[in-house]
Amino acid sequence: MFGWFKSKKPPESTEKATQKVESFLDPSAVLEKFTAITGIHFKKKESITTSKLIHFCRNHHLYSFDELYSRLQSDSAILEALINVLTVNETYFFRESRQIYFFVEKVSRNKEKVRILCAPGSTGEEPYSIAMALLEGGIPAQRIEIISLDINSDVVALAREGRYNARSLHKTASSVQEKYFIKEDKIFTISDDVKRLVSFYTLNIFDDHLFEMGKFDIIFSRNMLIYFDESTVIRAVERLGRLARSKDTYLFFGHADFVKTPPTLLERYEEGIKFYTIR
């Protein structure tokens, strides 16, 4: 009769045999795969990235980088979760705003509809800043269409919510805060009038769905290329350039995004503002 109790608890030796042991050795295969998919490299930050990877594996019950690597081959949810952990999404409203005011002035000179791409848009501060600047410049809402995309699905969800803390608004004039945000308990929610001007998508710029977005009159791609190596910057810029409606399309990049102008672009200056057009 005691045999039943004995069989419920495995003998000690069997218990040990089924315990998995962590072994985090070389992350390079995982990182190379991640770079091949996203363009993002970790050359200067390998040790901090390795710590993040170990933490990620523990959260997902993965015991080695080899195990993570094989899950990445077939499990798109793991890839998405890893992208959401390893991307840097720092942004704020009216960042590098001189470029924004410069193009608003150009847009205000004619009466046509304007399609603007913001790639990447992170948590939404940049595309919403563009929308607010256009409204402040007297451009009617019916003329404005802004598409924002980002590879990180968590930041896209936050962008759609449009709720921010004061830190995100440190460069936002108080008159703009009052006009376009609803403030409640230290949270600033973007108004529906601004929200409806921007559509948000989760998309990797190296995914060919990019070319289903249509053509754009103005393309912003700021502070993403800094995470890519030189050949990837050239590839990314060539792909974004294919979305330009014409040779009059303005392309704006961040100050540190590249040192050498990629071959598909022409560097231009007006009123002290650097922008690019396609060749």
Ligand X SMILES: C[S@@+](CC[C@H](N)C(=O)[O-])C[C@H]1O[C@@H](n2cnc3c(N)ncnc32)[C@H](O)[C@@H]1O
| Binding positions for ligand X, rule: CB under 6 A | 38-40, 87-91, 95, 120, 122, 126, 150-152, 155, 204-206, 222-224, 227, 254
Measured from the CB of residue 55, what is the shortest distance to ligand X in angstroms? 19
Nearer to ligand X, 40 or 139 (CB): 40
- Minimum Å distance from CB 135 to ligand X? 20
Q: Map residue 147 onto helix, strand or coil.
A: strand
Q: Which of residues 107 and 240 has its CB atom nearest to ligand X in the complex?
A: 240
Nearer to ligand X, 24 or 262 (CB): 262
Q: Are 193 and 182 in contact (CB under 8 A)?
A: no
In whole angstroms, give the CA distance from residue 185 to residue 88.
27
Q: Which is nearer to ligand X, 65 or 227 (CB)?
A: 227
Q: How far is the CB of 20 from ligand X (least distance, A)?
A: 32
Residues 38 and 52: their CA atoms lie apart, in Å, by 17
CA distance 129 to 20: 50
Please identify the residue of the shown chain whose CB is closest to the bound ligand X. Answer: 91
Q: C-beta of 88: minimal distance to ligand X in Å?
A: 5
Nearest Cα neighbor of 134 from 158, 151, 157, 118 is: 118
- Supply the minimum distance, in Å, between the C-beta of residue 104 and ligand X: 17
Residue 227: Cβ within 10 Å count: 19
Find the Cα–Cα–Cα–Cα dihedral 118, 121, 125, 127, rounded to 10°.
20
The nearer residue to ligand X, 65 or 253, going by C-beta atoms, is 253
